[in-house]
Chain A
């Protein structure tokens, strides 16, 4: 996001995303306000007629009176028609805008580095989508139209002043000014802003705590640790209350002042009334005018209240928008528009350095080449940088120094779309979505036919159990009666990669979490998947990589050694150590008591 508009101007920018509909809504709203004044005028005219002839009521023109009554009703109707139209337009604009904002927000965060998600937390992001963005509806659909229509009130008053009586008119204006002075004196300014920030932070914190609490419920239960996780949530709930109440109460005086001022505005009319009344020559005209203003001024007060409330709401909403904008300002993984297309499918790391936190180097000037159509295995102890290598290829993060190249092209010069077509993945933590199994597999390639999906499932050795699910391929994952094991999920993830059929394949510990039967099947599936691909394989089971074309041994962010299996063993270096450990671990047995 380039612009740094804040507060009201940012809200207006958002409101005008659906400009045409919104302007229509505003015009309707203004017309409705104008129409809402007419019944008062009708009543004024009725009072005037009566006062002029009283007590000679026989002189009243009955026809004229009925006309006033009918026009009052007609204007109520017109007012409501305009009002309804305005509400309708405003809501169409509002919800259309919300939808657009949410889509834009999702599009934006999707382009952020993966670390952003780890640091931000899904609770907070969901809260922004569910509540912060949703709150903008209040401004677009209600506050903006209210504000604009309320601003027409002073103009209408000017008209009334010149038509009816300027002296009472000026007095009413004085009343309005006094009310605003009272508002200015009691609205807290910066203190309120600070309290509001505290409240917003506490609200987000509570959202995250709730998500975490529910997610961790099995651990909470297993360790009798209600206290721990519950206390966090409990504290955040209490802290929320402790911040929201002061924030609300900081507006206590202001609200009370406004209620009082607007309800008592008519009092300024009394001195003026006495002054004029004791001097007037046209007593009947004076009485009619005075009575009219006594009726009319409170109505003005009501409309002005709307402005103030709308403004207060708007500043709340602007706070919510700020939270959204902060995330929109996060730097996305950039696409430089060069859109180069790789000429081959080898992968090259050229002096790559990378750090997650800017301090500890996860990779330190790493260079290697994974040849096209060959399998490159990456091994090493945890923290050595294996997974980091896998994360840099799909640009989950961008390198700090050096370059990652596919087919000679720096991946930063490729379109993200092109890059993702080039590479597919099987992670150790695979994720299925709450949609049909068919759609889950089809995520690999959207236009894959059902036959292609089924063929991939077969190749990934998952067709058998899928067929057994309640509705086969159409079974919704996560629905009643659908429990898939880790190994089964993994095979579906492999089917996804098979359907995608991209030339480069990255396997991140893809054979972990599997029982005897699954392991066998997963291996079959992987053999199928790896045919004719450039494969980068992060492996713990060292026996599986004996035949890899190249084995890279990572140690503290650097390449310790690389070569073929036999060569590395003969070199008696780091790899040989790992291998020894591996074979020892493999014969370990959990002992019984005999």
Chain B
């Protein structure tokens, strides 16, 4: 059984051990509680003694009071022990799960983040793990302990009188059948509710991220139809879940508790016929008042368990996604080759049998219309994604055999969209190289022209940026990204249109920074502004996922093909002015 639980909740060995001792502790508490029956039995015996012509012993009743008090003290410690054991174990297990998710998630190919939203993965980490906490503290231990104690009570009554036992428990199978029989329905409504919950969560995240547009379009609150609908669906499916499972549980409870009446009826019938003695009858009646408690809680806990298992299943599914693996890379050769590479996001082909060579220690530009595959090429060589067919090599080594993190040590990347963390500016730059001293960070920041705006911030380098650095302008973000890349100092530099949204003053400075950063490196630049790449060594012109033209600026202009067309278009748009 522990093995099943371990499997079910993806528990570590320690957590399984903790859970086991938690369950044992709760069972002990239940058993101590049951022991009080001994006191009650003895009291009953004494009380009916005079009715059967024997003597009542009040001093024995005092002894029973003593026994009862001892049991109470035991119970206090037992329940203290079980509380401690279950809570420590459930929170430890949830922590383990969260860390495991965090560790696994980072090894996923980017395709996973394309198909799963931010809200979905964070829900796995937060909500689903919280539901593990709840399950392991409030559901599993009491469920198992209740089953054990209900069974013991059942056996004891059987020992006293099998006919009474039968009449008390005759309804039990039926009520369990109702619960188990409706499992499918319950699973369906549970699943629906959890899906709606996730959907609502996604819509909320989107609403928060798009708040500027929402405000500008005056689409706040209920006017945001999608969010309103998601919240309404969640309301409806939550009510449906409670109604359907609620009614089922209630019916099952009724069936079970109808046993009270049956026991009273059968008991009195047997008694009037003289088939049962007084003490067993009284005991049966006392038991019938208490025994349904734990069974009722089993009936309620089972569907709850069912509901939470969907959460654990979601975690399991997430953890079963194949992670990217490979060997460490060590090569001084930075030549990158694409050999007959094809790749698509979902079904849409983006790279189509591409062959290309990016020479070492040269500056290579990737140009082409949007959707031609420039950014995708960059994502493939850095193994953000894996190719569908063909192969990409760096210094002759197939990148798909290289451990992604190790591969990344070859690249310094300046992204178009810059992600910043809710931390100090200093630490945000230090991401480039965690071993860098403050002085090194500041030098890189200076080189990337960040120095001036950072010094203007309230606490300079120690200023904490908000969520995703939302207070910084596009240009400032980009310069931080460049500073990171400078600090990293890897042999291959990948620039994704680094100077798009800078004001002219900064642009010059950033250009200088880039010039310095790219010295003696293998440089790949995804260029939008064609004039900036006129002097590079090699230009790959992409179209529809293949290399359509290749050469230097002059060669390509003479060819009068796609490159020349794009170049002339841009020269025209430079002349654009507002009317």
Q: Which residues of B contact A400 (CB under 8 A)?
A: none
Known pairs A218-B419, A256-B77. 19 more at Cβ < 8 A?
A: A39-B260, A91-B246, A99-B234, A131-B130, A217-B105, A230-B103, A245-B87, A255-B80, A260-B72, A263-B72, A360-B456, A381-B506, A382-B503, A431-B209, A433-B226, A446-B223, A514-B528, A520-B570, A540-B507
Known: A270-B64, A513-B497. A114 touches B211 (CB 8 A): yes
CB-contact partner of B415 in A222, A234, A416, A427, under 8 A: A222
B170 within 8 A of A: no
Interface residues of B in 390-439 (CB under 8 A from A): 404-405, 408-409, 411, 413, 415-416, 419, 421-423, 427, 430-432, 434
**CB-nearest residue of chain B relative to A468?**
B371
CB distance from A192 to the nearest CB of B (A): 14
Known: A228-B431, A427-B212, A512-B500. A55 touches B51 (CB 8 A): yes
- A-B pairs with lowest CB-CB distance, top 5: A73-B261, A110-B220, A512-B501, A107-B221, A592-B537
The answer to whether A55 and B221 touch across the interface, beta carbons within 8 angstroms, is no
Q: How far is the CA of A223 from the CA of B427 in the complex (A)?
A: 13
**CB-nearest residue of chain B relative to A258?**
B79
The answer to whether B347 and A260 touch across the interface, beta carbons within 8 angstroms, is no
B98 within 8 A of A: yes
Q: Which residues of B contact A270 (CB under 8 A)?
A: 43, 61-62, 64-65, 68
Known: A274-B62, A586-B531. A110 touches B204 (CB 8 A): no
The answer to whether B574 and A543 touch across the interface, beta carbons within 8 angstroms, is yes
The answer to whether A219 and B431 touch across the interface, beta carbons within 8 angstroms, is yes
Q: Which residues of B contact A257 (CB under 8 A)?
A: 76
The answer to whether A548 and B578 touch across the interface, beta carbons within 8 angstroms, is yes
CB-contact partner of B573 in A278, A519, A545, under 8 A: A519
A207 within 8 A of B: yes
Chain B 289-324 per-residue mask, 1 if CB under 8 angstroms from chain A, else 0: 110010000000000000000000000000000000
The answer to whether A590 and B370 touch across the interface, beta carbons within 8 angstroms, is no
Interface residues of A in 541-594 (CB under 8 A from B): 542-548, 578-579, 581-582, 584-594
**CB-nearest residue of chain B relative to A220?**
B106
24 contacts between A and B (CB under 8 A): A50-B271, A73-B258, A77-B258, A99-B235, A106-B221, A130-B200, A211-B122, A215-B118, A216-B421, A221-B404, A227-B434, A234-B99, A241-B91, A255-B80, A259-B76, A260-B72, A267-B39, A267-B68, A512-B474, A513-B528, A516-B528, A581-B508, A587-B531, A592-B537
Q: Which residues of B contact A155 (CB under 8 A)?
A: none
Q: How far is the CA of A488 from the CA of B56 in the complex (A)?
A: 94
Chain B 216-252 per-residue mask, 1 if CB under 8 angstroms from chain A, else 0: 1111111110111001101100110011001100110
Chain A 40-84 per-residue mask, 1 if CB under 8 angstroms from chain B, else 0: 101100110011001101101010011011101110110010011
| Complex interface: stretch among A115-123, A166-174, A345-353 | A115-123
B58 within 8 A of A: yes
A380 within 8 A of B: yes
Known: A207-B126, A591-B363. A517 touches B566 (CB 8 A): yes
Q: How far is the CA of A74 from the CA of B260 in the complex (A)?
A: 10
The answer to whether B264 and A46 touch across the interface, beta carbons within 8 angstroms, is yes
A248 within 8 A of B: yes
What is the predominant secondary structure among interface residues of chain A facing chain B? helix
Known: A237-B98, A544-B577. A520 touches B569 (CB 8 A): yes
The answer to whether A224 and B405 touch across the interface, beta carbons within 8 angstroms, is yes
Known: A214-B105, A222-B382. A545 touches B535 (CB 8 A): no
The answer to whether B345 and A481 touch across the interface, beta carbons within 8 angstroms, is yes
Q: How far is the CA of A76 from the CA of B231 in the complex (A)?
A: 37
A421 within 8 A of B: yes
Q: How far is the CA of A81 from the CA of B76 in the complex (A)?
A: 36
B361 within 8 A of A: yes
B467 within 8 A of A: yes
Known: A91-B239, A278-B58. A585 touches B504 (CB 8 A): yes
B558 within 8 A of A: no
What is the predominant secondary structure among interface residues of chain B facing chain A? helix
Q: How far is the CA of A230 from the CA of B130 in the complex (A)?
A: 20
The answer to whether B242 and A141 touch across the interface, beta carbons within 8 angstroms, is yes
B471 within 8 A of A: yes
Q: Which residues of B contact A229 (CB under 8 A)?
A: 421, 431
Known: A382-B503, A480-B346, A590-B363. A585 touches B204 (CB 8 A): no
Q: Which residues of A contact B58 (CB under 8 A)?
A: 274, 277-278
The answer to whether A585 and B579 touch across the interface, beta carbons within 8 angstroms, is no
Known: A68-B264, A221-B384, A356-B471. A500 touches B573 (CB 8 A): no
CB distance from B230 to the nearest CB of A (A): 10
The answer to whether B408 and A208 touch across the interface, beta carbons within 8 angstroms, is no
CB-contact partner of A215 in B68, B286, B419, under 8 A: B419
Known: A230-B106, A248-B91, A291-B282. A211 touches B488 (CB 8 A): no
Q: Which residues of B contact A290 (CB under 8 A)?
A: 43, 47
A344 within 8 A of B: no
CB-contact partner of A433 in B206, B468, B499, B534, under 8 A: B206
CB-contact partner of B72 in A226, A253, A264, A579, under 8 A: A264
A129 within 8 A of B: yes
The answer to whether B36 and A263 touch across the interface, beta carbons within 8 angstroms, is yes
CB distance from B548 to the nearest CB of A (A): 14
Q: Which residues of B contact A218 (CB under 8 A)?
A: 110, 113, 384, 415, 419
| Complex interface: stretch among A23-31, A295-303, A403-411 | A295-303
Q: Which residues of B contact A259 (CB under 8 A)?
A: 29, 33, 75-76, 79
The answer to whether A267 and B65 touch across the interface, beta carbons within 8 angstroms, is yes
CB distance from A447 to the nearest CB of B (A): 12
The answer to whether B384 and A420 touch across the interface, beta carbons within 8 angstroms, is no
The answer to whether B515 and A80 touch across the interface, beta carbons within 8 angstroms, is no
Q: Which residues of A contact B347 (CB under 8 A)?
A: 480-481
Interface residues of B in 103-118 (CB under 8 A from A): 103, 105-106, 110, 113, 115, 118
A194 within 8 A of B: no
Q: How far is the CA of A44 from the CA of B431 in the complex (A)?
A: 75
CB distance from B284 to the nearest CB of A (A): 10
A450 within 8 A of B: no
**CB-nearest residue of chain A relative to B466?**
A118
Q: Which residues of A contact B337 (CB under 8 A)?
A: none
Interface residues of A in 101-140 (CB under 8 A from B): 102-103, 106-107, 110-111, 114, 117-123, 125-127, 129-131, 137
Q: Which residues of B contact A146 (CB under 8 A)?
A: none
Q: Which residues of A contact B536 (CB under 8 A)?
A: 590-592
Q: Which residues of A contact B544 (CB under 8 A)?
A: none
B88 within 8 A of A: yes
The answer to whether A387 and B473 touch across the interface, beta carbons within 8 angstroms, is yes
Q: How far is the CA of A137 from the CA of B125 in the complex (A)?
A: 22
Q: Which residues of B contact A588 (CB under 8 A)?
A: 507-508, 511, 532
The answer to whether B261 and A70 touch across the interface, beta carbons within 8 angstroms, is yes
The answer to whether B579 and A530 touch across the interface, beta carbons within 8 angstroms, is yes
Interface residues of B in 486-503 (CB under 8 A from A): 488, 497, 499-503
B538 within 8 A of A: yes
The answer to whether B504 and A264 touch across the interface, beta carbons within 8 angstroms, is no
- The interface centre, meaning the residue of A118, A122, A208 with most chain B CB atoms within 10 A of its CB, is A122
B332 within 8 A of A: no
The answer to whether B29 and A514 touch across the interface, beta carbons within 8 angstroms, is no
Known: A103-B231, A274-B58, A591-B515. A223 touches B488 (CB 8 A): yes
A494 within 8 A of B: no
Q: Which residues of B contact A579 (CB under 8 A)?
A: 504
Q: Which residues of A contact B468 (CB under 8 A)?
A: 212, 215
The answer to whether A130 and B504 touch across the interface, beta carbons within 8 angstroms, is no
CB distance from B134 to the nearest CB of A (A): 11
The answer to whether B29 and A126 touch across the interface, beta carbons within 8 angstroms, is no
CB distance from B315 to the nearest CB of A (A): 14
CB-contact partner of B217 in A224, A429, A443, A531, under 8 A: A443
CB distance from A221 to the nearest CB of B (A): 6
Q: Which residues of A contact B416 (CB under 8 A)?
A: 486, 513
A266 within 8 A of B: yes
Q: Which residues of A contact B278 (CB under 8 A)?
A: 50, 54-55
- The interface centre, meaning the residue of B238, B384, B504, B508 with most chain A CB atoms within 10 A of its CB, is B504
